[in-house]
Amino acid sequence: MGQLLNPLQGSIFVSKAVAQDSPKLYYQNLFPYFTKYDRYHAVLVSTEARRWGVVYCKKNTVNSEDHAPSWWNLEAVPHVQTLREFPREELAGKVVMVRFDSTLLLMEEIDLRINLVKNAVFTVKYLHKSGAKVILASNWNTNSITRHPDMESVADYLTSVLQLKILPVQCSSISMMSKKECFEKVDILLLENLSEFKEEVANCSKFSKLLSLVVDIFVNDSFSQSHRILASTVGITRFCCTCIAGFSFQESLCQLKEAAQTTRQTYVAIIGGGNLLDKVTALHFLASTCSALVFVGMMSFQIMHALGLPVSSRLVNHSVCKEAADIIQFSLNKSVQIVYPKDFWCKNVDTSKKMEIFASHDVPDGWLPVDLGPTSLDEINALLMKSKKIIWIGPVKFFNSSQSTGGASILARKLYDLIQSDCDVTVVGTTACKALMQESSTLPACNVFENASVVWDFLKGKHLPGVLALDRAYPYKINWDAAFCDTALPLVVDIGSGNGMFLLEMARRRKDLNFLGLEINEKLVKRCLHSVCQLEMRNGHFIATNATSTFRSIVSSYPGELVLVSIQCPNPDFNKPEHRWRMLQRSLVEAVADLLAANGKVFLQSDVEAVALRMKEAFLLYGKGKLSVFQDQVGEGWLSENPFGVRSDWERHVLDRGDPMFRLMLSNSTTVNEAHLEP
């Protein structure tokens, strides 16, 4: 390390050396693009299958695609930075806003047996115990929460739940207080009900900024609102340098990803509710991942009608017949079993108290289905007995469900028994969750999502705004032994490595160092990795990622020490103040300062002086007092020449046209000149 960066040698790597041409880069498309599946049309189903109330679909090997498309919607829940992974020592003295889930922490009778509730409580206590100054924020419905309709009552209730003193404050008062004034008497503040502000639902930028005024770190612990764009979940992240997921939020994310995996067979989806048109895409996804679709709600009439069964016209929405047939055809091509009710409990329209059981295809005029019949429940139970994984989404609901005969309870009882037998069960929706909870005083070990809208949006392949707004973490652990021959060597990281010409040539010259390029453009990374392979290079590696949010999670796992970080010629457009995802954010600078080895270096350069100045200011301002200008530098403090003797592709282009480059070297020194801390 000392030999590498010793200023007395008059060089950093190769002082005043003439830049050499980098090795030729080779291009190869390593991964083919996946093609989208075609939609299929009318399906012919045998009379025998209709009569038995079940369709056993045979795979069409000509038209169907073999690959399971479960990959396509997992992007809706990307890997994010979590409180569990965030350095605990970084929380001390910081103001942390926690967007909590009122449906968990403001329950009429809070139940700490529920993991999500337990984790929601733990998020706040963990932050407080770590020395953070906590601000709680959420929205709650005053009509449904009768025990604590006003802010003071909510503060008192949370005080009893968390066993911590909580003080209610007005949102407007935060703008008039400093951090010290906010927390003179207590360590936890509670903002007023955000549902009273129209700016919350509108994701108003000014309101979002108001919420963030004294906040250092934002923790989202309200996964149930992830499908919505709110000022307190999405807008606020534009103004906070660090945005991470709380413990309850993280658990829900993991459960949602797990529900989409198909590692355990047989996987059965129990689908209730109605509005098939809005859920077509989600049903296609379930058909591509499950081995059976069981319809237990209003959608079952659409499926029965599409199969040619006699269904009263008043029970069918004829505008979605094509979509229902399309789902059946897609299921047929995927060998997916479709099950619909064989019988119903029905009520008489004229005499509402009278109820009888009728076959599903033979409900007489004047009668309306209100619940599943016994034969339907027996068939469903028989199918579930063979299942290893089950998702129940949507209520068992038909007309006038208040007169039901307990079909949901019978189904919940069967699921509860299966959970005890190590069956993987996911329950979605308020009705389904309540039915399951009523079956036992002990909470079953299963995945629970009371807000079905979040799960339906995920199954539709939609991105979840509340998740996307959080900082990213690298999606998996890196096998450093596969990337480098010797992981004990010091590491050099080039952020925004582009076409990799700089890093590849550096790695070729310096075998005593490992070189890592972080680049957001996946095509460029594929080219660089191909070049590494062609050159049989064992000290160079590239990763396709947004280094702004993943730098800490990637570099912190490297076994050796980080000795140099370089950022060269970032796009000026990324440096607009209003751009949330600009490259050089405070969180990235702090991560570099935390992970850089003693006497490690940061090299910055740009052909745009304003960009170079902005980078310099950011590192000196947010470097936690660890970084100082490495040496006296000419003119405005810029290095006159590239200290490495290796030019990037863009640097060569700029110099060839006769324009200057603005370069700066910073050092992580234990002795820092205070004058150097000033931007």
Residue 282 corresponds to which tokens in the numbers above?
A: 């989600």
d(CA 626, CA 376): 69
At residue 551, the 3 state secondary structure works out as helix
Supply the pLDDT for residue 391. 92
Q: Is the domain 262-443 a CATH 3.40.50.360 member?
A: no
Per-residue model confidence (pLDDT) at position 11: 37
| Domain residue spans of the chain | 83-256, 262-443, 480-668
The crossing angle, in degrees rounded to 10, of helices 280-289 and 452-459 is 70
Tokens found for residue 586: 């405070």
Task: List Cα–Cα distances, 427 to 339, 386, 392, 430, in angstroms.
Answer: 19, 18, 5, 9
Task: Report in angstroms the alpha-carbon separations of 543 from 392, 477, 560, 636.
Answer: 38, 12, 18, 34
What is the length of the chain?
A: 679
Q: Tally Cβ neighbours within 10 Å of residue 7.
A: 13
* Residue 391 Cα distances to 30, 218, 297, angstroms: 36, 32, 15
Predicted pLDDT of residue 316: 86
For tokens 């789902």, name the residue.
Answer: 327
Q: Does domain 480-668 have CATH number 3.30.70.260?
A: no
Nearest CA to 328 out of 46, 655, 627, 660 is that of: 46
What phi and psi values does residue 136 have, to the nearest 5 degrees? Answer: -95, 140
Other C-beta atoms within 10 Å of 249: how many? 30
Per CATH, 83-256 and 480-668 having the same topology is answered yes
Q: What is the CATH number of domain 83-256?
A: 3.40.50.1260
User: Smallest Cα–Cα separation from 652: which of 19, 24, 26, 23?
Assistant: 19
The amino acid occupying position 74 is: L
Contact 627, 608 (CB under 8 A): no
Residue carrying the six token digits 């909510």: 154
- Let me know the angle formed at the C-alpha of 486 by 482 and 488, rounded to the nearest 5 degrees: 120
Report the alpha-carbon angle 566-571-577, nearest 5.
Answer: 105
Helix axes 501-509, 649-656, angle to 10 degrees: 110
pLDDT < 70: residue spans in the chain: 1-76, 108-113, 142-149, 175-182, 262-264, 352, 400-405, 440-445, 572-583, 631-636, 670-679
Residues 6+ apart with CB under 8 A from 102: 138, 139, 140, 141, 145, 222
* Residue 602: both structure tokens together: 């940061």
Task: Provide the 10 A C-beta neighbour count for residue 43.
Answer: 19
Model pLDDT, residue 247: 96
Count of helix runs (H) and strand runs (E) in the chain: 24, 23
Residues near 378 by beta carbon (within 8 Å), at least 6 away in sequence:
none
Q: What amino acid occupies position 453? A: S
Q: C-alpha distances in angstroms, 453 versus 160, 224, 225, 279, 281? A: 31, 8, 9, 11, 14
Residue 63: predicted pLDDT:
32
Number of Cβ atoms within 10 Å of the Cβ of 174? 20
